[in-house]
Chains A and B, each alone.
Chain A
Amino acid sequence: MSELPPAAVQCRGVAVHLGGRAVLHDLDLDVAAGRVVALLGASGAGKSTLLNAIAGFIPIEAGEIRLDGRLVAGGGAFVPPERRRVGVVFQDYALWPHMTVHQIVAYPLIVRGAPRHEAGERAEQWLARLGLGDLAGRRPDQLSGGQQQRVGLARALIAEPRVLLCDEPTANLDARLRTELPGEIRDEVVRSGAAGVYVTHDPSEAFTVADVVAVLEAGRILQAAGPAEVYARPASQTVAALTGLASFVRGGLRPDGSAELPGGTLLMVRPEWVDLAVDGGLQARVVDVRFTGDGTLYRLDSDAGCLLAHAGGEPRWGAGAAVSCAVRRAWALPQQPETSG
């Protein structure tokens, strides 16, 4: 493991109140330069609020925010957004309807006083780089959603921000772009050496884009760790539910990581950790069958509880069929007073 570069975004004890209601509580977050942190959570969890606080669109109630070591909010200081060296990609693109694509992308350089021809050249380079070279003269309403969001990305990156903030950039895009754009954003962040903060409610998008996934609920970070860690070893039942499909059963954990059902410990099991048609396995009954394209998802009813199982191929059992199953892998959830899921 190489030594981590100094954090470009540091949030310490950040609290935000909106309309008299506490939206973020005592929140800590670090994002290193060249790394992407995904803020994952359901709507209303406070993801976008945190992003807006980092950008400087809203004031913070307590705590402090540092960008590149510089105090930008908290402790009586407040640096306005235009002097924080951030780039922001918005969910609804927020492209100015009265400008052409070229003008929009050059805008951040122009308002910072760059010579017009130089700004224009750089804008052309960025447009070409993101595959928008032919669209420079168009206005936003003549572009598709994906093109608009690429323009938004070019605008956010052209002034070489230290921090790139993305607020659900794919929420209004079709399925193909939802898989494509996060990768592009990640590549740009890595290349530019900026710190990336990426808000999403889609776990698979968070895993693709981020080095660290921070799971938020009710204004607090429940867990912040690498994607594989968050997926396989969630800190709580809530984190497990927010990061993908999971079933929660009572069983015993064997030394090799597999589980014996039923038992006394609360275990989390991802659907693909369950093997079906295993000799001497736990007897279960198929309750529901869903074909997912890349396989089949079964909902099973067993003595240990309800279990989701994902197997490759087309459906082999129908509802009501008896099938034996084994849990190849399981995760014992840390004991804490929590009832959810």
Chain B
Amino acid sequence: MQGVATAASRVPRRAGILTYRVPQLLVWVVCIACAAAVVAFPLGRLVWQAVDAPAASLGGVVASTSPLLHTLVAVAISTPLAVALGLALALVCQRAGPALRLGVLLPLIVPPFVSAFAWVQAYGAAGLTDHLTGFVLPGLFGPVGVILLLAVNAVPFPFATVSAALLAGRTRRLEEAARASGADARKVFTTVTLPLLRPALAAGAVLAAVGAASDFGIPAVVGMPGHFSTLTTAIYADLSFSADRASFAAAIAQALLLCLLVAPAAAALGRLAETPAAPDGGAVRGTGRAGRWGLSMAWLYVAVVSGVPLLATVLVALTRAYGLAPLPVNWSLVHFAAAVTGDNVVALGHSVALALAAAAACCVLGGLLAVLARRSAAGRWLQTLVALPFALPGSVIAIAAILAWNQPLHGTLLIIGLAYVARFWTLAERPIGAALGGLSPSRLRAAQAAGAGPLRAWWVGWWPALAPACAAAGLLTFVQAFHELTISSLLYGPGSTTIAVAVLSADQGGDVGTTAALAVLLAIVSLLAAIPLVGSRRASVWTGTS
């Protein structure tokens, strides 16, 4: 009896390696130092700037209200469109296979500027449908194109939140109860299904709106040529095409406006986006909610939104010269050769290096923060602070980085890397934190009871369950950093071009073939990295803004 009591009393003290005082202190120091340097300092500088010169900021805004107006209009129209489409697709795909789900999630995986470029190749003048049927999407360069692309690009958010709710909740049983109570299919949908999905729809709408307001790639590719500038492209124009103090002040003002626009939504998200419980694994009864017809419509949607544009881009990349028919006789690899030589290969190297460094740093910091967030209120506080840069638009983070570090680091890879760590830290923390939350101390205790020391117990008891989450965190951070455009387009210098910036420059320079080849390479890398992530059950890791 006495032996049992001693063993039991020892368990709490040895429950984890972090109960040892020194490593725990070290973790706190590392996390607080990094959060202060990488997150708090730049954001603080931005806020201080706003407080310091509110008059100048306001002046900049009054000078040109059209970017603000354009952003508001684009968000106001694209968000409801995205929510309606996402809801319909989620209901149709409830029992569909992983291929269709991956298809619907494609816009989240392929970077937005690549999607926009691909749409131009598919539905623009001299595009694929123009070649085949003479169809050209009217207004592709301008508000119509921006709004449509923002909407389909945001569809994965409501799709993912609604799918998760359908999977986790007992929706089906609750609907059966309503059927048995005498409600027909339509009445069940309006009185039971929709109210049940309301939180998921709200979360999806917020994510879609934040994504649409923050996106830079789409308005950059199809908005700027049509003189439809949004806040993000206005910031880019202010910083890239002029170097005077006035335009920098204007950029700061726009960034603050964007912040104000997005902040309330981002704050609401914290309450809304609580991931529902894991699927109950209950018996799946009956066939899908939608029949063959619904599934074909979903496939048609995927084809129109992603399939045809990506195919068109591949064809353009393969066709020897722009304007030739995209037939095998005209195929060659010259564009791909151009894509991987000279400045482009340097840019590719920069992006790989940045993405690897950011992924490594974010995984380590994310893991440490996840441990702290599970242990104390202060840790959770730190977690919220670190989530801020991801919720805010990339343009805002870039401006904050310029304010904080431009003096010694102007135009270096380091400043881009620091901004990436700030932005993607929380992205790595989330899957690791979720995995940690699912671990029970009994796994650790079982290993200790079997005679393992603290480190070994951790290695045997917890690491096997944490490893997939760490891999997911690393992969996610790598992909996001690899094709990141918004931040790098504002921070790059002559010696620190990233691949996304190279694509944008090639597009703006009118080099369609090389742009297409680069876009195809980017899309392939993103897809390869994303497949294991989408395959995993935690689709919620994708419901962040990009």
Where the two chains meet, the residues of A that have a C-beta atom closer than 8 Å to any C-beta of B are 18-19, 52, 55-59, 80-83, 86-88, 90, 92, 94-98, 107-108, 111-112, 155-156, 159, 165
Contact = CB atoms under 8 A, between A and B. Distances in A.
B173 A81 contact: no
Contact of A57 (B170, B284, B285): B285
A59 to B, nearest CB: 8
Contact of B178 (A52, A56, A87, A107): A107
B464 interface: no
Contacts of B237: none
B191 interface: yes
Contacts of B285: 18, 52, 57-58
B176 A82 contact: no
B176 A108 contact: no
A111 B182 contact: yes
Contact of A82 (B173, B174, B182): B182
A56 B184 CA distance: 12
Name which of B174, B184, B192 has the most chain A CB atoms within 10 A of its CB: B174
11 contacts: A52-B285, A57-B179, A80-B179, A88-B176, A88-B180, A90-B177, A92-B170, A96-B177, A108-B181, A156-B180, A165-B180
A166 to B, nearest CB: 12
B176 A81 contact: yes
A82 B179 contact: yes
Given A58-B285, A98-B196, A86 B178 contact: no
B178 A57 contact: no
A96 B180 CA distance: 13
Nearest to B195: A98
Interface string B140-180: 00000000000000000000000000000010011011111
B183 interface: yes
Given A92-B173, A97-B196, A111-B191, A55 B180 contact: yes
B195 A107 contact: no
B180 A86 contact: yes
Name which of B179, B180, B284 has the most chain A CB atoms within 10 A of its CB: B180
B187 interface: yes
Contact of A81 (B179, B195, B196, B198): B179
B337 to A, nearest CB: 51
B182 A108 contact: yes
A97 B192 CA distance: 9
A11 B473 CA distance: 55
B461 to A, nearest CB: 32
A111 B183 contact: yes
B286 interface: yes
A309 to B, nearest CB: 37
A108 B181 CA distance: 5
Given A57-B285, A58-B285, A111-B191, A94 B181 contact: no
A111 B170 CA distance: 21
B344 to A, nearest CB: 51
A58 to B, nearest CB: 6
A251 B121 CA distance: 88
Contacts of B179: 56-57, 80-82
A107 B286 CA distance: 25
Nearest to A152: B177
Contact of B176 (A57, A83, A111, A112): A57
Name which of A18, A56, A82 has the most chain B CB atoms within 10 A of its CB: A82
B170 A82 contact: no
Contacts of A95: 174, 177
Nearest to B287: A59
Nearest to B169: A97
Contacts of A155: 177, 181
A95 B181 CA distance: 12
Contact of B180 (A19, A87, A92): A87
Nearest to B177: A94
A246 to B, nearest CB: 31
A94 B191 contact: no
Contacts of B184: 80, 82
Nearest to B282: A92
Contacts of B174: 94-96
Interface string B407-439: 000000000000000000000000000000000
Contacts of B183: 82, 107, 111
A48 to B, nearest CB: 9
Given A52-B285, A98-B195, A111-B187, A90 B181 contact: no
| Shortest 8 CB-CB contacts between residues of A and residues of B | A108-B181, A94-B177, A81-B179, A88-B180, A111-B183, A98-B195, A94-B173, A112-B182
Contacts of A18: 285
A94 B196 CA distance: 12
B175 to A, nearest CB: 9
A81 B180 contact: yes
A94 B170 contact: yes
Name which of B170, B176, B196, B284 has the most chain A CB atoms within 10 A of its CB: B176
A112 B191 CA distance: 13
B180 to A, nearest CB: 4
Given A58-B286, A96-B196, A98-B195, A107 B181 contact: yes
Contacts of A111: 178, 181-183, 187, 191
Contacts of A82: 179-184
Nearest to B187: A111
Contacts of A94: 170, 173-174, 176-177
A52 B179 CA distance: 12
Contacts of B198: 98
Contacts of A107: 178, 181, 183, 191
